[in-house]
Amino acid sequence: MEKILVTGGAGFIGYHLANYLSAFPYEITIIDNLSRGKMDEEFQALISKDNVKYINADLTVKDYYDLLADRYDYIYHLAAINGTKYFYEKPQEVLRVNILSLMNLLDWIDNIKCGKFMFTSSSEAYAGTIQSFSDCRNFIPTEEDIPLAIDDVFNPRYSYGGSKLIGELLTINYCRTKAVPFSIVRYHNIYGPRMGFEHVIPEFCRRIYDKENPFDIFGGDETRAFCYVQDGIRATKLVMEASECDGEIFHIGNSLEEIRIEDMAKKLLKIAGYQVPLRINPAPQGCVSRRCPSTSKLNGFTGYMPEIDLEKGLRLTYDWYMEAFREKRS
């Protein structure tokens, strides 16, 4: 049975990935210190499965690596501090944890047998490029060879994007030097149940639940191409298990349904049956005006195409959050 390590497996994408993988004949180890993930009923159900093992450990502390095995066929590295709130309030911690945990992990991999390593990056790694270089704004949908840039080192928002940019450099150079097969994926606006409460879609769901009136929109003209989490993790597995993808970077997302934030809010309000006036406010500082990935390379290498459209994905997400709010506030 192949052995898989998922770091950050209690978080949003990590949980859904590990849960998806658990349906296959793999022996899965999840490592997470629950700094942002949570020991809820869904995660408890996952780690109670016969082929899933959970280790509560901090990847920034090297002593914890002694708890892991000396061989893994696939290592998915998703552990990171994410969430806009943390970018602004604790940027130094975002940088410290995200970079140090990756460096420790790569040092450890040098002493074990690793079939393949995957670093999960983000569209935030090139947010500064789109923001400040006008000739790059036309390259949307955005391909993987776009230059990566931080256009304002004083803006704490880039603590996360900067950590992902550095993470890509570390992964490429460590793995090339040590001859470890690897792939890098950049997630683009993955959404779905259990994604926390700091992102735009769950925030809208919360404010619908609270009957906000008027309904505030921050940056209504900004566009995003949202990708439902089940599509995202399916693409992640395809990249990991295809040897043709070794040494490559792939954008994971849904380029078929780019939408204005204001229009996405209207869709959610319609799903909720809650019609109120919208109040449009300026977008947060550092927020890019448009983001949509090209998934042509991903499709060419793996055959991936998204299966869940925005209407269905938003309804599934909205229903999950309404139930979560009712349970929390009952």
pLDDT digit string, tens, across residues 236-278: 999 999 999 999 999 999 999 899 999 999 999 999 999 999 9
Nearest by Cα to 285 from 98, 90, 127, 93: 127
> Which residues, including other chains, have CB under 8 Å from residue 55's CB and lie 6 or more apart?
29, 30, 31, 32, 64, 67, 68
- Name the class of domain 2-195+227-256+292-309: alpha beta
Torsion 221-225-229-233 (CA) sign = negative
> What tens digit of pLDDT does each residue of 189-240 get?
999 999 998 889 999 999 999 999 999 999 878 999 999 999 999 999 999 9
pLDDT tens for 311-326 read 999 999 999 999 999 9
For the entire predicted model, the pTM comes to 0.94
Compute the distance between CA of residue 314 and CA of residue 320 in angstroms, rounded to an integer.
10
Alpha helices in the chain (DSSP H): 12-21, 41-47, 84-89, 91-109, 127-132, 158-178, 200-209, 229-241, 261-272, 296-302, 310-329
The C-alpha atoms of residue 90 and residue 244 are separated, in whole angstroms, by 38
Under the banding of pLDDT at 50, 70 and 90, the label for residue 330 is very low
Query: Which SS3 state, helix, strand or coil, does residue 157 take?
Result: coil
Cβ atoms of 163 and 91 closer than 8 Å: no
Task: Classify residue 4 as exposed, middle or buried by CB count within 10 Å of its CB (0-12, 13-18, 19+).
Answer: buried
Tokens representing residue 242 in the block: 């295809």
